Structure 1
């Protein structure tokens, strides 16, 4: 994608580069070319889509950056900090018990602030090459994003 390998990504620049690459390599441009060129175009277009999707999302981007540094985050990896886990349980209970738009919107607002805070901390951790801390923060972000999805689902189902 020809962007700097950092956690902080300029989404506008990323989008521009994605569109430019897709414009040049999209399979439709190779409809009248040889089978080898068509296949190459399809493969490259698929890779570009995957890269763009990965880089757009902070969680996926962070996992990718860890992997580039030979640090791996397992799908079922959790946090051992009781305080954090307790706070996640409490937030989940609040979501379950909330049945009005005002309280759900407030939970959503609070959760968005948590996401912003973790993303800011991740930016710092990656800049300082504190990969162990970045991994811990990504696990926390995964929990918080799960909560974000639960809130959104509940809002959609109630309203």
Structure 2
């Protein structure tokens, strides 16, 4: 049986996740299932405790990341988040991505730190807007729309990574 991370950490199955409560519950579970507490246990029990501890860590890493938590919540609803990898059914968004990449190329060729910083802020803001739409789609149980928002966030996150690499490169100069 697959463990539901929301149930494991005694959290409601909704987003956004209360990160403070997640951390408190994670720390309690970590203390409860710490291998040192089971020094006298049999080898089989020790293996089970180590597996439980690993699952607690995995659940925490999943739920503390907003995008991973959204992907996980959709998977609980039977939505296959991995298979349709990067298929976006939104022509306007794809055109926007194309123009944003062109803009990044232009900024890179100009070697302008201020323009790059402004572009970083613009794309970060756009990512927040898409995440808010994702939360709205999830609250309305519109799983396909939510899945499209996840794909959009992935695109924007990759663009942000490229911008940050350029920022590092410029900073090193």
Aligned-pair RMSD on alpha carbons? 1.7
CA distance in 2, matches of 1:30, 1:122: 42
Runs (4+) of structure 1 exceeding 6 A deviation are none
Where in structure 2 are the equivalents of 1:57-72 lying within 5 Å?
Answer: 57-72=65-80
Give the gaps of 5 or more residues in structure 2: 1-8
Select the structure of larger CA radius of gyration: 2
1:119 aligned partner: 131
Match of 2:157 among 135, 145, 151: 145
2:105 aligned partner: 96
Name the SS of the counterpart of 1:70 in structure 2: coil
Name the SS of the counterpart of 2:47 in structure 1: helix
Name the SS of the counterpart of 1:79 in structure 2: coil
* Cα shift at 1:27: 2.4
Give the gaps of 5 or more residues in structure 1: none
Say if 1:76 and 1:128 are closer, same or farther in 2 by CA, change over 3 A: closer
2:96 aligned partner: 87
What do the CA deviations read for 1:59-99 (whole angstroms, capped 9, x no partner)? 21111111111111225331132221121122222223333
More relative contact order, 1 or 2 (CA 8 Å, 6+ apart) = 1
Does structure 2 retain, via aligned residues, the 8 Å contact 1:27–1:41? yes
Match of 1:130 among 132, 142, 150: 142
What do the CA deviations read for 1:92-147 (whole angstroms, capped 9, x no partner)? 22223333321221111111111211121111111111112111111111111111
The number of equivalent residue pairs is 159
